[in-house]
Amino acid sequence: MEAKATTALLNELVETLKDGQKGYADAMTDVEDTTLKDTFKKYAAQRANFITEIEDQMFKLDLKPDESSSITGTVHRAWIDLKSALTSKDNKAVLNECERGEDYAVKAYQTALKAQDLPSNLKSVIEKQYQGVQEAHNTIRSLRDSSK
């Protein structure tokens, strides 16, 4: 895979992770339930760690992270902010929005894993992170389904 395509792919993952980190940080403030707050805090920290791992791989490959925000990320952040404002701390609505964000993250990782000729260290990082994203998605979905 050429450097430009790899850079674009990794920048998309980083933007997706930043959206998730911000989404979970916002969600923490939108719920009263301490267990949910802890879950959201855990996943916000996970996404921050994943960003560092990908940026570290980019540095090792001499690829430049994109410092500007993606349009899709901006739209998603605005949507979660609007949804949170309208739902006034409704756990199920916040979990619905978190799951929607997780759906997007899972798809972004599935796309990245289909990329050809990625360096093996980078592919290993992406595969490991995908497992974490998938686990977060399943946890959020279970919490949403059991929410009142």
Structure confidence at residue 75 (pLDDT):
52
Q: Give, in degrees to the nearest 5, the angle at Cα 72 between 1 and 126.
A: 40
Structure confidence at residue 31 (pLDDT):
84
Q: How many other C-beta atoms lie within 10 A of the C-beta of residue 7?
A: 18
Q: How far apart, in Å, are the Cα atoms of 63 and each of 7, 92, 126?
A: 6, 40, 16
Q: Is the pLDDT of residue 74 over 80?
A: no
Contact yes or no for 53/44 (Cβ under 8 A): no
Q: Is the pLDDT of residue 88 over 70?
A: no
Residue 12's identity, in one-letter code, is: E
Query: Taking all residues of the chain, what is their mean pLDDT, rounded to a whole number?
Result: 86
Cα 74 to Cα 55: distance, rounded to the nearest angstrom: 20
Give the mean model confidence (pLDDT) for residues 96-113.
Answer: 90
Give the mean model confidence (pLDDT) for residues 52-66.
Answer: 91
Q: Is the pLDDT of residue 136 over 70?
A: yes
Cα 53 to Cα 124: distance, rounded to the nearest angstrom: 11
